[in-house]
Amino acid sequence: MEVKCRRLEGKVAVVTGSTQGIGLAIAERLGREGAAVVVSSRKKKNVDEAVEGLRAKGITVVGAVCHVSIAEQRKNLIDTAVKNYGHIDIVVSNAAANPSLDGILEMKESVLDKLWDINVKASILLLQDAAPHLQKGSSVIIISSITGYNPESSLAMYGVTKTALFGLTKALAAEMGPNTRVNCIAPGFVPTHFAGFLTSNETIKNNLMERTTLKRLGTVEDMAAATAFLASDDASFITAETIVVAGGTQSRL
C-alpha cells in the first residue's frame, strides 16, 4: 500500500508481536512514514523473515527475538533499539495470547496466568524498561480488542484482559504525561492467523460482518493506519483514549 505522508521521519519505533498480522502491518506503516523500526516475536526465523521483507520495501529496520513474558528478552528488545538508533519515540505493545477457548469457570489456573502475563503484565514490564529511553513527545500505543467491550463466549477471559488494557491506558497516560502520550486501539475482527479460528468459518465470519455498520471485517492496514495516526504529531493533543477501529461494532462497557 502506497503511503505518501512521512509524519514519522526521524522517529524510532519498537513494536512487539510484529512479524505477522496486525503487528507486521503496523511496523510496515510506521516504517513507510519514515520511522526506524524494531520488530520482534518469539521465533528467530519469523523475525529474520520480517526484517528481510521490510528492508526490501525500503524500510529501516532491525529485529530482536522477544517473548514478552521473558524479562531478559524484553530488556534486549529495548537495548536493541537504543544501541541501533540511540533513543525510542514510539512503543506499540501488540503481542497477545489466547491459549484456550474454555469458559472462565472451567479455565485452568496456568492458562489464566498466561493470559494475564502476556496480555496485561508484559505491557507494563516492557514500558518499565522503555520509559528511561523515551523522548519528549513520545507515544505509546497499546493494542487491545473489540472483545474488551464485548467478550465473546469463546474469548471471554481473553476479552477481560483486553478490558483491563483500557484502564491501563488511562493510568499510564496520567503517569507518563506530559512527556509521553499513551493511547489504545481496540481493533474489530480482522482475518489474520491469530483470529483464524473465527474468520475462517463462513457462518461466524458472516455474523461478525453483520454486526458492523460497514458490513465488512477489518484489515491489518486499517489498524496500522490508526496506529500511525496516534504515533504522529497529528494526535499531539490525544492521550488516555481508546480508539475503536471496528467498523461500527457496538463498543460500550
Q: What is the mean pLDDT of residues 53-64?
A: 98
Report the share of the chain in percent with pLDDT over 90. 89
Angle at 51 between CA 62 and CA 139, to 5 degrees: 55
- 8 Å CB contact between 38 and 77: yes
SS3 4: coil
What per-residue confidence (pLDDT) applies to 201?
81
Domain ranges of the chain: 12-245
Distance CA 38, CA 61 (A): 6
**Which whole number is the average pLDDT over 64-81?**
98
Q: Say what percent of the chain tops pLDDT 70.
A: 98
Lowest mean pLDDT among 14-18, 92-96, 125-129, 193-197: 193-197
The per-residue pLDDT for range 172-207, each reduced to its tens digit, is 999 999 999 999 999 999 988 776 667 778 888 898
CATH of region 12-245: 3.40.50.720
pLDDT of 98 above 70: yes
- The whole-angstrom separation of Cα 135 and Cα 179 is 7
- Band of pLDDT at residue 153, cut at 50, 70 and 90: confident
Residue 158 is among the residues annotated as catalytic for this protein:
yes
Residue closest to 159 by CA, chosen among 225, 253, 40: 253
Mean of the per-residue pLDDT values of the chain: 95
Helix (H) or strand (E) holding 55: helix 44-55
- The terminus-to-terminus CA distance of the chain in angstroms comes to 34
Packing angle of the helix pair 122-130, 71-85 (nearest 10 deg):
40
Residue 154, pLDDT above cutoff 90: no
Question: Range with the lowest mean pLDDT among 9-13, 45-49, 115-119, 201-205?
Answer: 201-205
Output the pLDDT for position 1.
Answer: 62
SS3 of residue 61 by DSSP: strand
Give the active site residue among 85, 149, 158, 229: 158
Residue 158 CB contacts under 8 Å (≥ 6 apart), including other chains: 96, 98, 115, 119, 145, 147, 151
Confidence of residue 137 (pLDDT cuts 50, 70, 90): very high
